[in-house]
Structure 1
Amino acid sequence: MYQRVIANTPKFLMFDLQPLIENKQFIFGADYILIRPQQNGGTLYLSSTDIPLVVGQLVLIAPFNPFKISGEALNNNDSAGDVLHFRLNALGQTFIDSIQFTNIKNMLDNAKQGLLFDSGGLETVFEIMDNIENSFDFKQLLNILMLLDQLTKTPSQQCLESHPITFSTTKRTENRVDIVLQYIATNLAEPLTVTIVAQQLHMAESTFSRFFHTHLGVTFRQYLIEQRVKQAARYLVSTDWTIAHIGAEVGFSSLSNFNEKFKTLLHVTPRHYRVNHLSLRENIDTSQSIQGQLQKQLHHWQTSASIAP
């Protein structure tokens, strides 16, 4: 029905179609979620409300609305249903605030309480969903907009939460970013991947990739390499460890990989960096001198291409 593409690029911002699977912990996702069960037997837990998932219905959930889905029928079963993750940032605020978008915007605002569509009249919506696939074709953006527009014309909208939990989106986002950055900082020596770090926030990989790029301005891989190189530069100045040991200490898989990434970012090899910055040891009690030098040398990095770790 659709192609699965791992949406781990910042260019993939608008949507991501995933199979409906069980998640045992409450998720506070950064995306709008549209759930389409295609088998009975699952249950959606939305804050304090339990909703049996039944074929022929749709559930729309706004960002940062806690939910989880359970049911043995959903495990390892790609035909159990679909979950469409989508966000509005990629459209631009002018488009979102346009009068033509008003009905969709009002519907999405109501999704803060969870919206259930289950009284028929969804055939056209399902037909559009069947044509959505994870690709970069422009028609996929049109499909998403057509889907949202058609949902606003469906009369069977039922709010699921009469007293929804109110969350501070800004504060929650800050907390989640802090969790990720702290986890990366304390695990640089480990083989960090998008999958591993996304699990810390109970996010799907593609959702996490979009979340990270939106709030940090760079991809996960770019940020990880920058942090590893920064920490390596500090070790080169502050310790007498061998270059191979430092590379391993900050998580590079090989000495050649370490040398390559270090030189790409700082335009000098680790050995030459150590030789050229021995004077910084005079101020070793403070890290400001090292940090200042690194910031100057990394000022072009933000515009560089993504580099695989």
Structure 2
Amino acid sequence: MRAYLEHLPVSDTASWSLRDRRLDDAIPFQWHHHPEYELTLTLNSRGQRFVGDHVGTYGHADLVLIGPNLPHTWASRAKLLADAPHVALVFWFRGAWIAGMTDGTVELRPVRDLLERAQAGLAFAPETGLALMADFQDMFGLPPLQRLHGLLSILMRLAGDATARPLSRAVPQVVQGGRSRLDRVLAHLHRHYAEPLRMAELAGIAALSVSGLHRMFVRHTQTSITRYVAGLRIGEACSRLSTTMQPIGLIAEAVGYPSLANFNRQFRALRGMTPRAYRRMFAPRDVVGDGLKTP
């Protein structure tokens, strides 16, 4: 499966798009990208979030701002309220359009700075998602002009939010052709990162030589394939360490490290602590509630 270029809905009455997405069964893994910014608030759902080389868990009121052409997807594991759907409230807007307003408006400079930071994806605290939940929901009943005002108001609030944290270490560059080659490689890595890394196989997927593959990958992601895969593996390990009581050795093997010693070294290099210390940071807690209601 390759990361596909998503074509977003276009309106004759608005400069940007929004969607109230409701899924009864699951949020499926659909690895994709698009040239627009995306602001997504996910409700009544928990699972894994993939953004660039980031892999992490998400829960109710997950709020993320994603930059242009940054591959991403969510993949749910469960609903919090079984009789209600998974909900994703999604806003999309073009960089050139928003830049036309922020570059020439002193009052909107914080939004411009926010969008620059969002190139690699930004995740906000669940408390921020909960605080903005009503604003997101109300947007779908507003006329176009009031929606525009509402979007700018939300972006201004996010611009001043100190909880925002970057997600991906790899930031996509402007691609002139060859996007499908990179997408094929990225999709394969996200599906098979726990397996042994075979450069010849990846080169074949990209229809390039091994050296050509390396040059393309570094040029467009600003990191090497080896480091990118390590980020995916350690990201999945963090997800398991924080949400399960699986033995650390089992987690290491499941994410692609047969050697526990090697896993510990890689984990410390990327997270600055041991897997055991990372697990101790997460106390069991019930994430149901805090504003969750049947939509």
Normalized against structure 2, the TM-score is what? 0.49
Q: Which structure shows the higher strand fraction?
A: 2
Larger Rg: 1
Normalized against structure 1, the TM-score is what? 0.47
